[in-house]
């Protein structure tokens, strides 16, 4: 089973969505964690838009990337263009992608939903490519 790390700046919106989708669609296919370069807290609007599609991420927490070892992961996905700020050991995993998704922070709930739907599609494709 491949181990995947989703990384974003704050680990509060996009990476939390990816973690929720990966747990839901990747069960028994991939092991997943998300983290942030400057972790904060999970955005309540993110929890809300995921609950709209019956994915509960209310127990997920924002975690610092420094708490993890790059060598433990097969794939690293940067969600916000922050790949350029990642330590080299994270970028040199077997799979590295930088999805550069828009940040829904301070945006309308419709923007959160659009990002959620984009994230879902990309996570499903990633799971298929790693399985």
- pLDDT, one tens digit per residue, over 32-72 is 999 999 899 999 999 999 999 999 999 999 999 999 999 99
Residues identified as active-site: 8, 80
Identify the burial level of 57 via C-beta atoms within 10 angstroms of its C-beta, where 0-12 means exposed, 13-18 middle and 19 or more buried: buried
**pLDDT greater than 80 at residue 110:** yes
The mean pLDDT of 123-129, rounded to a whole number, is 97
Both tokens of 109, joined, read 């709930």
Instruction: Please check whether residue 49 lies inside any domain of the structure.
Output: yes
- pTM for the model stands at 0.94
Instruction: Please check whether residue 25 lies inside any domain of the structure.
Output: yes
Instruction: Please check whether residue 24 lies inside any domain of the structure.
Output: yes
What residue has token string 């807290």? 41
Instruction: Please check whether residue 130 lies inside any domain of the structure.
Output: no
Q: Residue 115 phi/psi, 5° resolution?
A: -65, -45
Given a contact cutoff of 8 angstroms between Cβ atoms, the answer to whether 97 and 26 are in contact is no
Instruction: Please check whether residue 125 lies inside any domain of the structure.
Output: no
> Which domain covers residue 24, as residue numbers?
2-120
Both tokens of 84, joined, read 């350029």
* Number of compact structural domains in the chain: 1
Q: Please report, for the domain that includes residue 79, its CATH number.
A: 3.40.50.2300
């Amino acid at each position: 089973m491949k181990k995947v790390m989703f990384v974003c700046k704050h680990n509060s919106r996009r990476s939390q969505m990816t973690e929720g989708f990966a747990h839901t669609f990747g069960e028994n296919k991939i092991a997943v964690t998300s983290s942030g370069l400057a972790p904060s807290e999970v955005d309540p609007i993110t929890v809300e838009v995921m609950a709209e599609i019956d994915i509960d991420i209310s127990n997920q927490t924002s975690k610092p990337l420094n708490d993890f070892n790059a060598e433990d992961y097969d794939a690293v996905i940067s969600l916000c263009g922050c790949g350029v700020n990642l330590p080299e050991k994270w970028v040199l995993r077997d799979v590295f992608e930088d999805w550069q998704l828009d940040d829904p922070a301070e945006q309308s709930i419709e923007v959160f939903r659009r990002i959620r739907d984009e994230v879902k599609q990309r996570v499903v494709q990633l799971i298929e490519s790693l399985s």
